[in-house]
């Protein structure tokens, strides 16, 4: 028996139907225009072919015709643009309470770490029906996180975080690819996303025995000496970190930036890049001293401080440490 080849890949995320609908619309409109052009070419070729006794006549242009074939395609293309922009902005804005998974791409593997502490290589377990936010960085070159069944693809860049999110709707195991040529073994940089029923996921998650990522970050925070400057009181030589995440930060040059994941990452690796107003640029760089996994743990710890009342922990801000001016 012959097996039927599916017309579309599996649809396993909340975004898949929207992406497919736009793609089908593009195909239908393009197909109709191609067919119309083909019919008109054949018609004019027959109608105005060279024949004995018939001489060509000069035909003046028609403003009405030119306006029609300019305005109608314009509105059709604006539908493409508007529909595509709507999908794009939905994909660019992760929901507030999405489960976060830190991802480090490297030649030739995907490394995942859940906030609960579980670590995986080339395999990502997620629960069905829950928003999942991927916070990704590359250890070497540009990679691209691509899950066809979810209709998501996001470049993963060295030196910064990029974000993708999805809401799985169907249990199963789905292919994960690197969609950016990253070297000689690019085709081997594959993995899978395992979407599980909530009870199965909880059982899997409970079998790890690992420390939460924020707890690992808190330990590193103390071992690296960050706690000596970033104190919960006002006596520290660096700004306090409690509650700083996703809040505006006033810089020395008068700019205001948001303390998001990339800001925290940059402040650890390049502490003088954005110096906080009221402090001096004395914080040493940790570039080359900590791994991407340790950096992720530190960022996760600082983020966790925003969920606690100020003063309960040595909560501080890894943003450009400087002693306070008198």
* pLDDT more than 90, % of the chain: 67
State both tokens at 312.
């309960």
**Which residues contact residue 81 at a Cβ distance below 8 angstroms, ignoring those fewer than 6 apart?**
none
- Pick from 36-40, 269-273, 306-310: least confident: 306-310
More confident site: 291 or 315: 291
What value does the mean pLDDT take over residues 156-175? 96
Using the predicted structure, report yes or no on whether residue 182 has a pLDDT greater than 90.
yes
Q: What is the Cα Rg of the chain in Å?
A: 27
Q: What is the pLDDT, as a whole number, of residue 4?
A: 61
Report long-range pairs for 196-203 (Cβ below 8 Å, ≥24 apart).
Answer: 196/125, 196/126, 196/127, 196/128, 196/171, 197/127, 197/128, 197/171, 198/127, 198/128, 198/129, 198/130, 201/125, 201/126, 201/127, 201/128, 202/127
Cut 0.75: pTM above it: yes
Tokens 């509650």 belong to residue: 243
Torsion of CA 22, 25, 31, 36, to 10 degrees: -140
Torsion of CA 29, 32, 33, 36, to 10 degrees: -160
What value does the mean pLDDT take over residues 216-232? 89
State both tokens at 259.
């303390």
Three-state secondary-structure class, residue 166? strand
- Domains along the chain? 9-37+65-210 (2.60.40.420), 213-305 (1.10.760.10)
How far apart CA 148 and CA 140 sit, in angstroms, is 24
Q: What is the pLDDT, as a whole number, of residue 5?
A: 63
Mean confidence (pLDDT) of the chain:
87
Using the predicted structure, report yes or no on whether residue 3 has a pLDDT greater than 60.
no
Three-state secondary-structure class, residue 174? strand
Q: What is the β-pairing status of strands 190-196 and 123-127?
A: parallel
Using the predicted structure, report yes or no on whether residue 322 has a pLDDT greater than 60.
no
pLDDT tens-digit series, residues 123-150: 999 999 999 999 999 999 999 999 999 9
- Pick from 2-11, 13-22, 42-51, 296-305: least confident: 2-11
């Amino acid at each position: 028996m012959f097996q039927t080849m599916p017309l579309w890949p599996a649809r396993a995320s909340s975004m898949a139907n929207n992406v497919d609908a736009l793609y089908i619309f593009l195909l239908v409109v393009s197909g109709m225009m191609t067919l119309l052009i083909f019919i008109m070419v054949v018609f004019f070729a027959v109608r105005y072919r060279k024949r004995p006794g018939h001489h060509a006549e000069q035909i003046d242009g028609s403003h009405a015709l030119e306006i029609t074939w300019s305005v109608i395609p314009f509105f059709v293309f604006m539908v493409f643009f508007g529909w595509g922009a709507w999908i794009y902005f939905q994909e660019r804005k992760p929901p507030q309470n999405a489960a976060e998974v830190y991802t480090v791409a490297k030649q030739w593997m995907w490394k995942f770490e859940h906030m609960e502490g579980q670590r995986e290589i080339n395999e990502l377990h997620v629960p069905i029906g829950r928003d999942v936010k991927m916070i990704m960085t590359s250890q070497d070159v540009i990679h691209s996180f691509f899950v066809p069944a979810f209709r998501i693809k996001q470049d993963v860049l060295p030196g910064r975080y990029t974000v993708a999110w999805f809401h799985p709707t169907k249990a199963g195991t789905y292919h994960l690819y690197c969609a950016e040529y990253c070297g000689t073994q690019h085709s081997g940089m594959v993995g899978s996303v395992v979407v599980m029923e909530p009870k199965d996921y909880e059982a899997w998650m409970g079998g790890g025995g690992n420390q939460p990522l924020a707890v690992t970050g808190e330990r590193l925070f103390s071992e690296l000496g960050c706690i000596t400057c970033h104190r919960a009181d006002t006596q520290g030589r660096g700004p306090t970190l409690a509650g700083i995440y996703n809040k505006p930060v006033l810089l020395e040059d008068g700019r205001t930036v948001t303390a998001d994941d990339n800001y925290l990452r940059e402040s650890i690796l390049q502490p003088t890049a954005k110096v906080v107003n009221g402090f001096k640029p004395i914080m040493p760089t940790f570039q080359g001293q900590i791994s991407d996994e340790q950096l992720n743990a530190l960022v996760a710890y600082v983020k966790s401080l925003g969920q606690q009342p100020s003063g309960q922990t040595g909560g501080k801000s890894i943003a450009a440490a400087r002693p306070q001016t008198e």
